[in-house]
Amino acid sequence: PTIKFVTHDGNEQEVEAESGTTVMQAAMDNGIDAILAECGGACSCATCHCYVDEAWTDRMPEADEIEKDMLDCVLEPQDNSRLSCQITVTDDLDGIVIRLPESQY
């Protein structure tokens, strides 16, 4: 499946990801700067915060409690905020648009 990353200032980068990997991993593999992922995907750093385009939010499982707690700590939360390390790439998500926050700490 392809994932399109869009930076806060509108730069787009489309990448090809393996099913079963995570959106965070796909970002790491493709040098997406706005995803830091300091904890390496353990759902404990929140530096992999991203915004999922509304067209895809229904096609993925909701955030669990741990992820929701972590999302409470991000700088610019929105209704479609997710931690990219908790989004598993599936064929269903082909073409998904992921927007990146301006500040990732």
The site that binds ligand FES (CB under 6 A) totals a number of residues, namely 15
State the Cα–Cα distance between residues 98 and 4, nearest whole angstrom: 6
The smaller minimum CB distance to ligand FES, of residues 6 and 48, is found at 48
Q: What x/- string results for residues 57 through 96 when contact with ligand FES is judged by CB under 6 A? A: -------------x------------x-x-----------
State the Cα–Cα distance between residues 54 and 49, nearest whole angstrom: 16
- Per residue, what are the HEC states of 17-38? CCCCCEHHHHHHHCCCCCCCCC
The backbone torsions φ and ψ at residue 52, rounded to the nearest 5 degrees and listed phi first, read: -90, 125
Question: Residue 52 CB, nearest distance to ligand FES (Å)?
Answer: 14
Interface pick for ligand FES out of 6, 27, 46, 50 (rule CB under 6 A): 46
Close Cβ partners of 11 (under 8 Å, ≥ 6 residues apart): none
Binding flag, residue 45, ligand FES (CB under 6 A): yes
The smaller minimum CB distance to ligand FES, of residues 42 and 75, is found at 42
In which residue are the tokens 């991000």 written?
74
Site for ligand FES, rule CB under 6 A: 24, 37-39, 41-48, 70, 83, 85
